[in-house]
A and B are shown apart, each in its own frame.
Chain A
Amino acid sequence: MGNRFVSIWFRHLKTDWFSIRQPHLKNLPFVLRTPSHGRMIITAANAVAVMRGISCGVVLADARAIFPELEVQDDKPDLVNKLLTRLAEWCIRFTPIAAIDPPDGIVLDVSGCSHLWGGDTFYLEEIARKLNARGYDIKLAMADTIGAAWGVARFGKESLVASGMHSEALMSLPPESLRIEFETVMRLHKLGLRQVRQFISMPRSSLRRRFGEHLLHQIDKAFGHEMELMQPVQPIEPYQERLPCLEPIVTLTGIEMALKQLLETLCHRLQQEQKGLRSAMFKGYRVDGKVEQISIGTNRPTHHVKHLYKLLEGKLSLIEPAMGIELFVLEAQKVEDHFSEQTKVWEGSGGLEDIRVSELLDRLATKTGMQSIHRYAPDEHYWPERSYKQIALEEKLAIPWRTDKPRPLQLLSKPECIEVTAPIPDYPPMLFRYKGKLHTIAKADGPERIEQEWWLQQGQHRDYYRVEDVEGNRYWLFRLGHYHDETYQWFIHGFFA
């Protein structure tokens, strides 16, 4: 059986993608733009815009002159490749071998696939229907060579070229259908060669002399005299390992063995691909249909079997085998790059980068939950409660810590109300009563006014005073609001060392 190929041509790939996300664009003339040499150039136009005479490569201002109500959005670089790869991966449902064909196509090797859909016609209809349903405007063709399928999809009228008929199908197509450079196409047209059949029988040596080697290669590829290679997309396999059991497992020892075996295979794969897992789930499918599962998370990507086993082992008691477990699945839900050379450098150096610290934190998190571990970095806010933010273990500081203003070592999570005697406006207080005890203030610094950040929260400002009582205890007090406002209140917010 000969090879069969399908070439799919996305006529408005990028604009279709935008219209799928913003349905109102569908029936409007709509273009994408990108800056080039100080001008805005149109890089893609949808069907409606093309109908009005706006095409790619036109300067945006010119297009606006043709049609002032033109809808314009910024083009995304690398969109095409990403989009095509995703579509090619999606096309794996039709054939195991799918490849991208930039800038606007996908090639499928469908040899021996179409009979599963009841024949070539139904097969092509199915592909077209599914892609149309997703919102893409496509044309496709099936032929014995990639080149022929490509040409027929873009320039032919039929979509199905019967086996062995691709040469005939190509004959009536224009020279562009051979995937050749623009200059060669222009030269062929200039010479009046408007169809492939007009020059295909010319001697090869004269074609080569006139139009170069490339044309001959492309002709050979399209007619099937030369092999053309595809680079199929390879979807990422999920990091998952399965272990079916002959007999249902009911004992803890059995579960432990299963876990160990699964971890070893999974970690081996992770190690080879230089990955480390951040979260994993261990599932046991029970005979009675229920699924028992435990999951763990780590602070840093790892593929250390012993460490991961220890983390999961602590939770094994949560698995209830009941009548027995017949299938174990270990899944790494979150996987990140992990370079093992790096760990060697850090090992033994101590400090937060040390692998032992993150393993310790994993152990703590397994028992007490990830939310109990905090590490902080300064945040760009004056309001004390917002002056720091939580960061991950491996994150670096974006801004340095401030030291210019005195801050108490211990801060009350919520300021507590106190009674205060203050002599004159904006002077520090003389006396204050906190938890029933009267403190006489001996020394004081302040006020330091901290305004409420109105774009985050409404409220009054705080005037902070640093005070020391006669016994030598140091406090951070503040007055909420202006002295004259009558409604002001005094609070204690922290203790200085």
Chain B
Amino acid sequence: MIYLEGSKDSSSMTAAVRKSNIIEDLQRDILRLEGYKSGNNPAVDGGLGPIRDAFPNASFPLGVLHEFLSDKPEDASATSGFACGLLAKLMGNNGAVLWISSNRKIFPPALRAFGIQPDRFVFIDLQNEREVIWAMDEALKCGALTAVVGETREINFTESRRLQLAAEQSQVTGFILRNNFPKINTTASVSRWRITSLPSESIGELPGIGFPKWRVDLIRIRNGRPGSWDIRWIDGEFQPVPKLIPSAHEEQKQVG
């Protein structure tokens, strides 16, 4: 219950509050029925700051499929950086991640800078993208994993639906990294992200490159509010840059 101070018409206010409470409860019920766990994931949400508010239940959705888009290798690197930051939080001390790819560029020793023990990753290197989708499907059914990352350019709706269902069933989180994707198509993934690198800010008077900084665009999120944020990666933690930029989608929604 919210305590309202100095309310003049207390009876009508309490009624309104009660109504909004009921609506909130119902919304939470709907989310639960849709497969979102109601509990927070403090480990993941910790550093995300304002981005949290975009998620349903204000908590990073686990056991679902997330899609990351990028169209040049520089952004692909930024995307994998952001994804690794999330994975590090997800994995904790005893997680295991399968990284499935047909054209892997990830440099294992660099993962340590993102708070990941690179030896807790198992890399599956396959011949083509169809095998990647098949392997992801198999891996997402294995409840002992923390997350499954798949690198593929293309994925159609049916395939993504299958992966999403597998993820919901096993509560394993799936990440699809689509670098150099041919076209944006409809997929069954719960969210669609786009990460681009931003010029780093110098640390005080020091010359050289500062901490990694990215523009995080949450283009689509089921039952959430898309948005755009600037975020930095400092000493193994996300640190949002306070300024909030309303995304194009948000503006459209307001207009409509």
Contacts and interface: CB of A to CB of B under 8 A. Distances in A.
Interface in A381-414: 384, 387-388, 391, 393, 397, 401-403, 406-413
A426 to B, nearest CB: 15
Contact of A352 (B84, B96, B207): B96
Contact of A407 (B95, B110, B196, B198): B110
Given A409-B77, A410-B105, A410-B107, A373 B122 contact: yes
A355 to B, nearest CB: 8
B47 to A, nearest CB: 15
Contacts, number: 175
A376 B95 contact: no
A181 interface: no
Contact of B122 (A350, A374, A471, A497): A374
A48 interface: no
B138 interface: yes
A443 interface: yes
Interface in A439-459: 442-445
A468 B107 CA distance: 19
Interface stretch (A106-114, A286-294, A359-367): A359-367
Given A357-B145, A495-B77, 7 more contacts: A373-B123, A376-B118, A376-B123, A388-B109, A397-B119, A409-B84, A442-B199
A356 B112 CA distance: 26
Contacts of B81: 409, 496-497
Interface stretch (B18-26, B30-38, B157-165, B208-216): B208-216
A373 B208 CA distance: 38
Contact of A354 (B96, B109, B124): B96
Contacts of B108: 376, 388
B122 A361 contact: yes
Task: Please report whether the interface of chain A is mostly helix, strand, loop or mixed according to DSSP.
Answer: mixed
Interface string A484-497: 00000000001111
Interface in B181-200: 196-200
B176 interface: no
A354 B143 CA distance: 10
17 contacts: A351-B144, A356-B143, A357-B145, A360-B145, A364-B139, A368-B127, A372-B125, A373-B122, A374-B123, A374-B125, A375-B119, A409-B106, A410-B73, A410-B77, A470-B199, A471-B199, A495-B74
B199 A373 contact: no
A497 B135 contact: no
A401 B112 contact: yes
Contacts of B210: 443
Interface string B47-87: 00000000000000000000000000110111011101000
Interface residues of B, number: 58
A474 B77 CA distance: 9
B96 A445 contact: no
Interface residues of A, number: 57
A472 B118 contact: no
Contacts of B198: 472
A372 B124 contact: yes
Interface string A321-361: 00000000000000000000000000011111011110111
A165 B177 CA distance: 87
B107 A407 contact: yes
A132 interface: no
Interface string A281-313: 000000000000000000000000000000000
B173 interface: no
A59 to B, nearest CB: 51
Contacts of A445: 208-209
Contacts of A470: 199
B109 A495 contact: no
A402 B124 contact: no
B142 A360 contact: yes
Contact of A472 (B117, B197, B208): B197
A377 B121 CA distance: 10
A364 B124 CA distance: 9
A412 B77 CA distance: 11
Contact of B107 (A356, A368, A408): A408
B105 A472 contact: no
A20 B134 CA distance: 54
Interface of A: 348-352, 354-357, 359-361, 363-364, 367-368, 372-378, 384, 387-388, 391, 393, 397, 401-403, 406-413, 442-445, 466-468, 470-475, 494-497
Contacts of A384: 107, 109
Nearest to A389: B108
A127 to B, nearest CB: 54
A464 to B, nearest CB: 13
Nearest to B131: A368
A406 B113 contact: yes
Interface string B5-31: 000000000000000000000000000
A350 B96 CA distance: 8
Contacts of A374: 122-125
B248 interface: no
A402 B199 contact: no
A368 B126 contact: yes
Contacts of B213: 472
Contacts of B77: 408-410, 474, 494-497
Which are the 7 A-B pairs with shortest beta-carbon distances?
A497-B81, A411-B107, A354-B144, A495-B77, A473-B74, A472-B199, A356-B144
A74 to B, nearest CB: 37
A376 B73 CA distance: 23
Interface string B125-155: 1110001001100110011111000000000
Contacts of A348: 144
Contacts of A444: 208-209
Interface in B203-256: 207-210, 212-214, 233
Contacts of B111: 409
Contacts of A393: 122
Nearest to B214: A497
Contacts of B117: 401
Contact of B212 (A363, A375, A474): A474
Nearest to A387: B109
A495 B118 contact: no
A409 B110 contact: yes
B113 A349 contact: no
